[in-house]
Amino acid sequence: MQAPIQELIPAELQSRFAKARNVLVLTGAGVSAESGVPTFRGGGGAAVWKGMPFDVISSAGMVQQNLQAVWEWFDYRRNLLSELVPNAGHLTIASWQERFPEFTLVTQNVDGLHQKAGSKNVIELHGNIWRARCIACESRFDLRISHPRPDNCISCGERLRPDVVLFGEMLPAGAFELAAERAVRCDLCFVIGTSALVYPAASIPEIAKSAGAYLCEVNPERTPLSNICDEVLSGSAGAILPLIGAATN
């Protein structure tokens, strides 16, 4: 027989969740794992595309050297994603935006599944796989409505690239600053499904904690942030997140 929800979710977290006024959630690839999106590093392996580790193919250097290969990798992933739907983790996070007076969702994911689940005003630190960006004038194009995918910018004719943040590239202007500002103000911060290895994204929970927030991690594996968390819930986002809401209903 399964344990009652009250025993699965610690009382301190239940109480913090019930009283919270300002909640911030940082997500990573793990939140989409149960929808069928492969993670980058979890599960003992690392993503590889045609023999290239993802930090080589998803790098600023590869855009310079071989933009076509970068597009092949992203076309392949968009094709996979087009069949996938949000899971219970995404849906629970989307429901939280109505539950608290202030709520911020910051994601490192580029898959658009949070928005598909109904989350609004998502701060996307690493861009979105469903957009292309001109390498010269930075015009952006929605790839959900552009078929076939255009190679060149309709404004200036230059080449397009995926509108995602690759290794060694700057985050979108203002995105980290906005997330950091919200992190300073939140009273409860969740860090969900991220290995917390990539910066500056991994500094968001550190900022929240330093400013006094209660920090809760949801992940089947420990991460470099686990030691500073007030609560570590070991398990999958799709199984645990619906319990957190339900325990305090």
| Binding stretches for ligand BJW (CB under 6 A) | 28-30, 33-34, 39-42, 54, 58, 108, 110, 126, 164-170, 193-195, 197-200, 218-221, 223, 236-238
CA 241 to chain centre: 15
Of 27 and 104, nearer to ligand BJW (C-beta) is 27
Catalytic residue status for 126: yes
| Strand ranges across the sheet with 231-233 | 123-124, 102-107, 22-27, 188-192, 214-218, 231-233
Q: Which two tokens stand for residue 34?
A: 């149960």
We find the least distance from the C-beta atom of residue 165 to ligand BJW, in angstroms, to be 4
Q: CB nearest ligand BJW: which residue?
A: 30
Output 3 or 173, the one with its CB closest to ligand BJW.
173
Q: Are 26 and 201 in contact (CB under 8 A)?
A: yes
Cβ 242 to ligand BJW, closest distance in Å?
12
Which of the following is catalytic: 90, 114, 126, 147?
126
Minimum Å gap between C-beta 1 and ligand BJW is 24
d(CA 192, CA 236): 9
**66: its two tokens:** 């071989």
User: H-helix or E-strand containing 72?
Assistant: helix 67-81
Relative orientation angle of helices 203-210 and 175-185, to the nearest 10 degrees: 30
Please report how close the Cβ of residue 166 comes to ligand BJW at its closest, in angstroms.
6
**Closer by beta carbon to ligand BJW, 187 or else 217:** 217
The owner of tokens 């539950």 is 99
Closer Cβ to ligand BJW, 23 or 233, answer by number: 233
Q: Which residues are catalytic?
A: 126
